Amino acid sequence: MDKNTDTTEEISFDDFDEQINPKPEENDFDRILEIALTRRGLLKSVVAVGGVATLGSLATLAPGDAQAATTRFAFESIDANTLDDITVPQGYSAQVVTRWGDPLWSDGIDFDHATRGSAASQVTSFGDNIDGMEVFAHGDKTLMVVNNEYTNRKIIWGNREEGKYETNDDVLKGKMAHGLTVVEIAQSDSGEWAIVVDSPYNRRVTPDTVMQMTGPAAGHDLLKTSADPDGNTPLGTYNNCGNGSTPWGTYLACEENFNGYFSAADEAHKVSPELKRYGVSSKDWGYGWAKVDDRFDVSKEPNEPNRHGYVVEIDPRKPDAAPKKRSALGRFKHENAELVINHDGRVVVYMGDDERGEFLYRFVSNGVYAVGAETDSLLEDGKLYAAKFHDTGAGEWLELNPETSGLASMAEVCIHTRLAASTVGATTMDRPEWVAANPKAPEVYCALTNNKNRGIKPNAGGDLTPAVGPNPREKNLYGQVVRWRPNGGDHTSNGFAWDLFVMAGNPKIHSDAYAGSANVNEANMFNSPDGLKFDSNGMLWIQTDGNYTNAEEFEGHGNNQMLAGDPATGELRRFLVGPNECEVTGCTWSPDKRTMFIGIQHPGERGNSHWPEGGDAVPRSAVVAIKRDDGGLVG
């Protein structure tokens, strides 16, 4: 193949979407309630939003209380830094478990720093850009499933001029670095975790793996392609961001920015308005998949993008089983899928659509979960909702169905979910990232990572984005975490009360709303909350994917990091700082809760890291195990 002449700069997914689908500035919409902009005033609004009567102790967050309360933290907060290393509190240690390019089988090919691998080495090795992850106990085995979200062109093709693919094998290497990696892991006698090479559970799930479509969209005309005239057998999963898991032992991989992989040989080709809403265009994100696989050419296979953007259920105990795309959970840029078993046994899944001004969703199963009973249909059959937040501190779930959306069928609702949510008037959010449910109380948290368009531009569907409610700051650089409590503690209730758990900010340089809420101070400040996970004690772990320049608006924030928060007091402590130019994402625990696993994604994405190997090594995404030096519990 000719050398790639694509001149697309490597920019964020959201900026790419805006380049291909520009939106007008909102100059004239009815703007916005003035929110209290003094820090004290802001704190009041943050605290009072949910209403003391409905949120009880949640609404009592106040400065000083955290220090007065008996702490539930087992560590002292660490300082921000810009080291090309992992920093954890005194009394803890971190160890790399596995990295991008490590072979899963003994006949695999070791990672080559000069070539950065080949398609053949990559397909039998750990994928790139580690994101969501989960550990499952299976008899005496420990199985780990990890998303390999995407790949950074300048890293994976860093052996090529300008970091662009030059050969078909380069393109295929990039493609095979996507998907998921399933591995058995085990501890050595000294306690170090490593992959069990050649385990029968080891598996790569790639953009070419045969899948099964389930739920309302299965077999619909919009899913039919020349290779799959029945519309039931899509190939592959990619751009899997966050994840979820089920009590029946399966993993939920969530397809996020699926649009950026499609292109058309004729760049003048126009896609349908429905595809445009999802950011599909005639130009891809620089991966070149259409050059080696016609199904990624939207002029040839206009329905192929409709087969991506779902939650995919995978059983790590069955390495030969086809993963199942669960269309009942809707199609959008899925961040993660937080699954809760309601008190009546129904399965509730909370999900964010991570794009500026997109929505928050909920699925409620019709069937109930019972240990040992059939579980295969639970995520195929149920109702889908989008969230509306009122400024009063109340909220409601709006059902998405043919009647409310005006779409022709439930299949279309599950395929064009964004259109349905726009029609019912769901609240445009500041990029909903991970959702996490507190195991100790009926309350749910969602990271709203940032949104520089808040109050400035509508979303991709033209829905306005006024700076109100849980998204109160115009040009929101820092992000916030919203939480809600379902009415009556019932996750299937259509009503809830909400408030903001934290507004990130920079109190070093701001004294208004951009300083952040009162539980943010110069010792724990951060930006762009993304990964969220509760541990079994009900402590909330927050991971960041933000600006790591440590300058100007972000002075003092250092590298991306991980914090822990106490839902009862609002106190936040910094637990970990990642190496240069990484995102910290993905979090799970060993079955005995003595190890926490986290992911370090794309260290050195702008060329300034050699982590984890140091020297002049190629930087590599990696899974990291964190333990207490005294062997105690970490979650």
Interaction site with ligand FEO (CB under 6 A): 149, 241, 256, 335, 354, 433, 530
Which lies closer to ligand FEO via its Cβ, residue 129 or residue 281? 129
SS3 (DSSP) at 402:
helix
Cis peptide before 612 (omega within 30 of 0): yes
Handedness of CA 324, 327, 333, 334 (dihedral sign): negative
- Supply φ then ψ for residue 434, to 5 degrees: -65, 150
Which lies closer to Ca ion via its Cβ, residue 349 or residue 407? 349
Minimum CB separation from Ca ion for residue 150, in Å?
A: 8
Minimum CB separation from ligand FEO for residue 148, in Å?
A: 12
Which lies closer to Ca ion via its Cβ, residue 241 or residue 623? 241
Q: Is 14 among the residues that bind Ca ion (CB under 5 A)? A: no
What does the chain come to in residues? 635
The 8-class DSSP code of residue 278 comes to T
Which lies closer to ligand FEO via its Cβ, residue 435 or residue 540? 435
Contacted by 256, from Ca ion, ligand FEO, none: CB < 5 to 8 Å by type: ligand FEO
Minimum CB separation from ligand FEO for residue 419, in Å?
A: 21
Hey, which residues between 189 and 248 contact Ca ion (CB under 5 A)? Answer: 241
Query: Which residue of 84, 530, 571, 581 would you call a contact of Ca ion, by CB under 5 A?
Result: 530
> Tokens representing 135?
């550990």
Helix (H) or strand (E) holding 360: strand 360-368
Among the residue ranges 19-27, 61-69, 482-490, 523-531, the one whose residues contact Ca ion (CB under 5 A): 523-531
Which lies closer to ligand FEO via its Cβ, residue 499 or residue 530? 530
Minimum CB separation from Ca ion for residue 579, in Å?
A: 14
β-bridge pairing 324-326 and 212-214? parallel
For the window 416-445, what string marks contact with Ca ion as x by the rule CB under 5 A? -----------------x------------
Which lies closer to ligand FEO via its Cβ, residue 18 or residue 335? 335
Residue 443 and residue 437 in contact, taking contact as beta carbons nearer than 8 Å: yes
Contacted by 583, from Ca ion, ligand FEO, none: CB < 5 to 8 Å by type: Ca ion
Residue 500 and residue 480 in contact, taking contact as beta carbons nearer than 8 Å: yes
Residues 6+ apart with CB under 8 A from 373: none
Q: How far is CA 10 from CA 36, 197, 310, 353, 621, in A?
A: 38, 34, 25, 22, 18
Handedness of CA 56, 62, 67, 73 (dihedral sign): positive
Q: Is 583 among the residues that bind Ca ion (CB under 5 A)? A: yes
Minimum CB separation from ligand FEO for residue 240, in Å?
A: 9
Q: How far is CA 530 from CA 15, 34, 443, 447, in A?
A: 17, 27, 18, 6
Minimum CB separation from Ca ion for residue 585, in Å?
A: 6
Contacted by 18, from ligand FEO, Ca ion, none: CB < 5 to 8 Å by type: none
Among the residue ranges 10-18, 59-67, 398-406, 539-547, the one whose residues contact Ca ion (CB under 5 A): 539-547
Residue 403 and residue 420 in contact, taking contact as beta carbons nearer than 8 Å: no
Minimum CB separation from ligand FEO for residue 256, in Å?
A: 5
Minimum CB separation from ligand FEO for residue 132, in Å?
A: 9
Residue 248 and residue 375 in contact, taking contact as beta carbons nearer than 8 Å: yes
Minimum CB separation from ligand FEO for residue 243, in Å?
A: 11
Which lies closer to ligand FEO via its Cβ, residue 256 or residue 581? 256
Alpha helical stretches, state H, 356-436: 402-405, 410-415, 417-424
3-state DSSP of 448-479: ECCECCCCCCCCCCCCCCCCCCCCCCCCECCC
Contacted by 386, from Ca ion, ligand FEO, none: CB < 5 to 8 Å by type: none
How far apart, in whole angstroms, are the C-alpha atoms of residue 100 and residue 159? Answer: 16
Which lies closer to Ca ion via its Cβ, residue 293 or residue 430? 430
How far apart, in whole angstroms, are the C-alpha atoms of residue 130 and residue 145? Answer: 10
Q: Is 358 among the residues that bind Ca ion (CB under 5 A)? A: no
Minimum CB separation from ligand FEO for residue 179, in Å?
A: 14
Q: Is 545 among the residues that bind Ca ion (CB under 5 A)? A: yes
β-bridge pairing 529-534 and 540-544? antiparallel
Task: Please identify the residue of the shown chain whose CB is closest to the bound Ca ion.
Answer: 545
Q: Is 353 among the residues that bind Ca ion (CB under 5 A)? A: no
Which lies closer to ligand FEO via its Cβ, residue 335 or residue 535? 335
Which lies closer to ligand FEO via its Cβ, residue 301 or residue 335? 335
Sheet harboring 561-565: ordered strands across?
A: 529-534, 540-544, 561-565, 572-577
Query: Where along the sequence are the contacts to Ca ion (CB under 5 A)?
Result: 241, 433, 530, 545, 583
